[in-house]
Amino acid sequence: MKARTWFALFASVGVVAVCAATVVFWWRSANVGPVQRGADLAISRGCLGCHGGAPVSPLQPRSFADLDDVDSATLREWILDGMPKRVQQDPDRRKTLEVATIRMPAWRGRLSHSQVDDLVAYLRAMAAADVPEDPPVRKGHVVAERLGCFLCHGPGGRGAVSNPGSLKGYIPPWDGRDFAELVVDKRELREWILGGRPQRLQMNAVARFFLDRQAIRMPAFRGQITEEELLALGAYIGWLRHAASTADVTRERRVGRAPPGPANDRLPSSVQATCVPSRTSGSRCAFSRNGRASPPSPS
């Protein structure tokens, strides 16, 4: 009887441990977005072996970073069939690809629809293909490149690079739900960029423990960035989060999980963006928090 009791106890502990590990794993990975999932797929499927760097001869395929002139639908066709339909329908171009030394493999039947979506999102982010022509947003992207932000935050700031010792084990993407927990308003965004961490988290013992323990820490850019660049970087991040929110709502509506209404109503961020057409630059974006609007970004 006693042996059975001990066995039941150990079995219960084992079940609880497995459940706890599963919950922790889900919690740490639930907010990893399509760009990082696409990056992981590109690595696991060997894509970077051919497309990882700039080609050094005409025989080599183009780098992912050079695909800004390829639209999403064409990228899907390349991934699924090894060549787009327009090339398949052109005898000369098709023959050229078919006799090429290095040929693009066809992944149809090997990747799911969602995996192809993730790969396309990753490729578009690598090529900065979706960044609008709006001057402040464009300038913010350039500033982020100059400061090296994408080296840690991933392509376009949308990755989830591994960060041992951090709370969730990765560097949160700018367009992810973690961002709203770490940046509650524009003042905190300034504190992150200029000082490496906001006062709110610095004063919290638990948050400070993880910020001090993580291997990769946010650098402080005070003295390295101008006020104009700081505002532009905020405009880029605001646009990025608005675009991600719109995509999330569109996807949820497609499967019937989101109610009708403006996508911005469900923006998973403390910073919301409202973009309207502009004759000079294409759009103007105003950013707000909790319904309190700030002036539109200059266009």
Would you write out the chain's pLDDT as a tens digit for each of its 299 residues? Answer: 566 665 656 656 555 555 444 444 444 445 688 999 999 999 999 999 889 888 877 778 889 999 999 999 999 999 999 999 998 898 988 888 888 888 899 999 999 999 999 999 999 999 999 999 999 999 999 999 999 999 999 999 999 999 999 998 999 999 988 899 999 999 999 999 999 999 999 999 999 999 999 999 999 999 999 999 999 999 999 999 998 877 655 555 555 555 444 443 333 334 444 343 333 333 334 334 443 443 333 33
Q: Are residues 285 and 201 located together in one domain of the fold?
A: yes
Nearest alpha carbon to residue 240 among 115, 136, 114: 136
Q: Would residue 58 count as lying in a domain?
A: yes
In a domain, 298, yes or no: no
Say if residue 248 is in the same domain as residue 182.
Answer: yes
The answer to whether residues 159 and 231 belong to one domain is yes
Whether 201 and 265 map to the same domain: the answer is yes
Domain boundary among the residues 94, 126, 158 is at 126
Q: Is 251 within a domain? A: yes
Q: Position of tokens 């002036």? A: 295
| 120 and 146 both lie in a single domain | no
Query: Is 5 a member of any domain?
Result: no
Shared domain for 258 and 173, answered yes or no, is yes
Q: Are residues 97 and 243 in the same domain?
A: no
Structure tokens at 65: 């970073």
Q: What is the DSSP string of 198-209?
A: -HHHHT-HHHHH
For residue 113, the enclosing domain spans 34-126
Query: What is the phi-psi region of residue 291: left when phi exceeds 0, alpha when psi lies from -120 to 50, beta otherwise?
Result: left
Question: Residue 254 and residue 272: Cα distance in Å, rounded?
Answer: 23
Is residue 199 domain-shared with residue 282, that is, in the same domain?
yes
| 59 vs 17: CA distance, rounded Å | 52
3-class DSSP assignment, residue 287:
strand
**Last residue of one domain, picked from the residues 92, 126, 160:** 126
- Domain-embedded: residue 16: no
Whether residue 4 is contained in a domain is answered as: no
How far is 141 from 38, CA to CA, in rounded Å? 21
The verdict on 213 and 143 lying in the same domain is: yes
* Residues whose CB falls within 8 Å of the CB of residue 184, separated by 6 or more in sequence, listed in order: 200, 270, 289
- Tokens 């004759």, residue located: 279
Do residue 147 and residue 117 come from a single domain? no
User: How many domains does the chain divide into?
Assistant: 2
DSSP E strand boundaries for 57-178: none
First-to-last alpha carbon distance for the chain, in angstroms, is 78
- 274 lies in the same domain as 152: yes
Domain presence at residue 178: yes
What CATH number is associated with residue 99?
A: 1.10.760
| Domain boundary residue, one of 126, 144, 176 | 126
Alpha-carbon distance of 125 to 86, in angstroms, equals 24
CA distance 177 to 31: 6
The verdict on residue 13 lying in a domain is no
The answer to whether residues 143 and 99 belong to one domain is no
Using alpha carbons, select from 120, 122, 184 the residue that is nearest to residue 150.
122
